[in-house]
């Protein structure tokens, strides 16, 4: 049985071209700055994102942690959405390792933070209060149906932040999904954020790795912070080589994943007992709710028996993510399997 794995785009496997590039990569000691392949990946990433410099790190979690450690000191506060990956799914690293306080405000259904809520959350100068340092955004917003934030929204947050001498960090784990969905270059967003992280190992299909991008000065300090958290990786060109192939070959095709997610959402919406609004699904992430007695776990178990893997995200909430390992026929098969499992 051919498994159709919709649990995440992190399950994507390296392409044959990536494996060939990895086998043939020129490498050196990256902690000494001497891995030519890592250096090339960092240059390509920075130029793609139109930032001065970039830093190759092990994961999206490490990219966000290193960014926050670089922007903030212990006791500083950041304004972050209550559904942000960095708040919910990164083991509280900002607080545990950085002494940084997450001040959460509600994420709107489209993944944005209301500008009024941000303004209200910014601390004034008071001896009792931790200083606000940073606003953290996420684009696309994973938990908000993979919603892409627009360049206009990024500009509004950047204007607001900079007028108050605050910085903006964007968790752009899926920033190329946002770019492809809105038909703009990624630099349209990134010009309005002081730092941005993005992942090679999700929809772009590389086996490992993320990049953190920002000013030259910011990245120089981030390099020290990466070393501090144990992220100096020596002959990392072996994995960076796959990242270069990911950026060169895997970005435009994300449009196929979005079309497949849209078809999946439309098909799911037509199944009795499933609630979702297909119009909200703009990229590769589809959330849906079960309206009857069946729990998400039960549905996931039944579907798994027929070779369709989906993510349990709550008592009656499910997540399905499309990626390059999922073809259009797989969507039709998954819909048939889920339809049957619902009965
Ligand atoms: N997200 C994973 C899980 O952790 C939930 C997934 O399957 O979607 N930012 C965002 C927006 C993410 O979605 C993720 C991973 C990360 C950061 C962390 O990346 P990694 O897993 O590389 O540390």
9: in domain: no
| Nearest CA residue ID for atom 20, ligand 1 | 60
pLDDT score, position 66? 98
38 and 104 together in one domain: yes
103 and 245 together in one domain: yes
Is the C-beta atom of 61 inside 6 A of ligand 1? yes
Would you state the structure tokens that stand for residue 124, as one six-digit string?
């004034």
pLDDT score, position 266? 97
24 and 130 together in one domain: yes
Residue 309, beta-bridge partner list: 5
Is the C-beta atom of 140 inside 6 A of ligand 1? no
Is the C-beta atom of 10 inside 6 A of ligand 1? yes
Is the C-beta atom of 142 inside 6 A of ligand 1? yes
Which pairs with CB-CB distance under 8 Å and at least 24 residues apart come from 310-319?
310/6, 310/7, 310/338, 311/6, 311/7, 311/8, 313/287, 316/289, 316/290, 316/291, 317/287, 317/288, 317/289, 317/290, 318/287, 318/288, 318/289, 318/290, 319/7, 319/8, 319/285, 319/286, 319/287
Please state, in angstroms and as integers, the Cα–Cα distance from residue 273 to each residue in 232, 245, 317, following that order. 49, 42, 12
The domain spanning residue 180 has which CATH number? 3.40.640.10
- Token pair 């999946």 in the structure block, residue: 264
pLDDT score, position 28? 98
Is the C-beta atom of 70 inside 6 A of ligand 1? no
| Nearest CA residue ID for atom 1, ligand 1 | 85
Task: Please choose from 57, 61, 205 the residue to mutate so as to test ligand 1's pocket, defined by most ligand atoms within 8 A of CB.
Answer: 61
Pick the atom of ligand 1 nearest to 201's CA. 22
96 and 79 together in one domain: yes
pLDDT score, position 67? 98
2: in domain: no
Task: Please choose from 12, 62, 199, 212 the residue to mutate so as to test ligand 1's pocket, defined by most ligand atoms within 8 A of CB.
Answer: 199
Q: What angle do CA 178, 183, 185 make, to 5 degrees?
A: 75
The number of folded domains in the chain is 2
Distance (angstroms) between ligand 1 centre and the Cα of 85 equals: 7
117 and 167 together in one domain: yes
145 and 170 together in one domain: yes
78 and 137 together in one domain: yes
Is the C-beta atom of 147 inside 6 A of ligand 1? no
The domain spanning residue 275 has which CATH number? 3.90.1150.10
299 and 220 together in one domain: no
Distance (angstroms) between ligand 1 centre and the Cα of 128 equals: 35
Is the C-beta atom of 85 inside 6 A of ligand 1? yes
Domain boundary among 221, 249, 277: 249
pLDDT score, position 60? 98
106: in domain: yes
Domain boundary among 223, 249, 275: 249
**Residue among 240, 331, 340 at smallest CA distance from 6:** 331
32 and 144 together in one domain: yes
113 and 158 together in one domain: yes
Is the C-beta atom of 138 inside 6 A of ligand 1? yes
pLDDT score, position 1? 72
222 and 186 together in one domain: yes
Q: Residue 301 sits in which domain range? A: 253-342
CA–CA gap between residue 167 and residue 211 (Å, rounded): 19
Domain boundary among 249, 281, 306: 249
178 and 291 together in one domain: no
Distance (angstroms) between ligand 1 centre and the Cα of 60 equals: 6
| Nearest CA residue ID for atom 21, ligand 1 | 60
Pick the atom of ligand 1 nearest to 141's CA. 11
70: in domain: yes
Over the chain (343 residues), the average pLDDT of each successive run of 10 is 94 98 98 98 97 98 98 98 98 98 98 98 96 98 98 98 98 98 96 98 98 98 98 98 98 98 98 95 97 97 98 98 98 98 94
Residue 55, beta-bridge partner list: 212
């Amino acid at each position: 049985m051919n498994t159709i794995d919709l649990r995440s785009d992190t399950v994507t496997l390296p392409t044959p071209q990536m494996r060939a590039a990895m086998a043939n990569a020129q490498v050196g000691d990256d902690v000494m700055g001497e891995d030519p392949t890592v250096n090339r990946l960092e240059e390509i990433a920075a130029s793609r994102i139109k930032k001065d410099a970039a830093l190759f790190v092990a994961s999206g979690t490490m990219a966000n942690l290193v960014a926050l450690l670089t922007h903030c000191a212990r006791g500083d506060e950041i304004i972050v959405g209550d559904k942000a990956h960095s708040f919910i799914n990164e083991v509280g690293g900002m607080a545990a390792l950085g002494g940084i306080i997450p001040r959460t405000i509600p994420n709107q259904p489209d993944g944005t933070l209301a500008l009024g809520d941000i303004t209200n959350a910014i601390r004034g100068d008071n001896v009792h209060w931790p200083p606000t340092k940073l606003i953290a955004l996420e684009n696309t917003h994973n938990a908000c149906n993979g919603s892409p934030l627009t360049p206009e929204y990024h500009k509004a947050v950047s204007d607001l932040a900079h007028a108050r001498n605050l910085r903006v960090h964007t968790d752009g784990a899926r920033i190329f999904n946002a770019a492809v969905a809105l038909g703009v270059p990624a630099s349209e967003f990134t010009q309005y954020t002081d730092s941005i992280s993005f992942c090679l190992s999700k929809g772009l299909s590389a086996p490992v790795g993320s990049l953190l991008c920002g000013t030259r000065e910011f990245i120089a300090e981030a390099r020290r912070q990466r070393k501090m958290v144990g992220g100096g990786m020596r002959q990392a060109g072996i994995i960076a080589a796959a990242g270069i192939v990911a950026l060169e070959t895997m970005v435009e095709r994300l449009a196929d994943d979005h079309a497949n997610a849209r078809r999946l959402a439309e098909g799911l919406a037509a199944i009795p007992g499933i609630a979702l609004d297909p119009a909200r699904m703009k990229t590769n992430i589809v959330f849906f709710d079960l309206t009857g007695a069946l729990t998400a776990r039960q549905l996931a178990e039944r579907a798994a028996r027929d070779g369709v893997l989906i993510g349990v995200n709550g008592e009656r909430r499910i997540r399905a993510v499309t990626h390059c390992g999922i073809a259009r026929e797989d969507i039709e098969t998954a819909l048939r399997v889920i339809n049957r499992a619902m009965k």
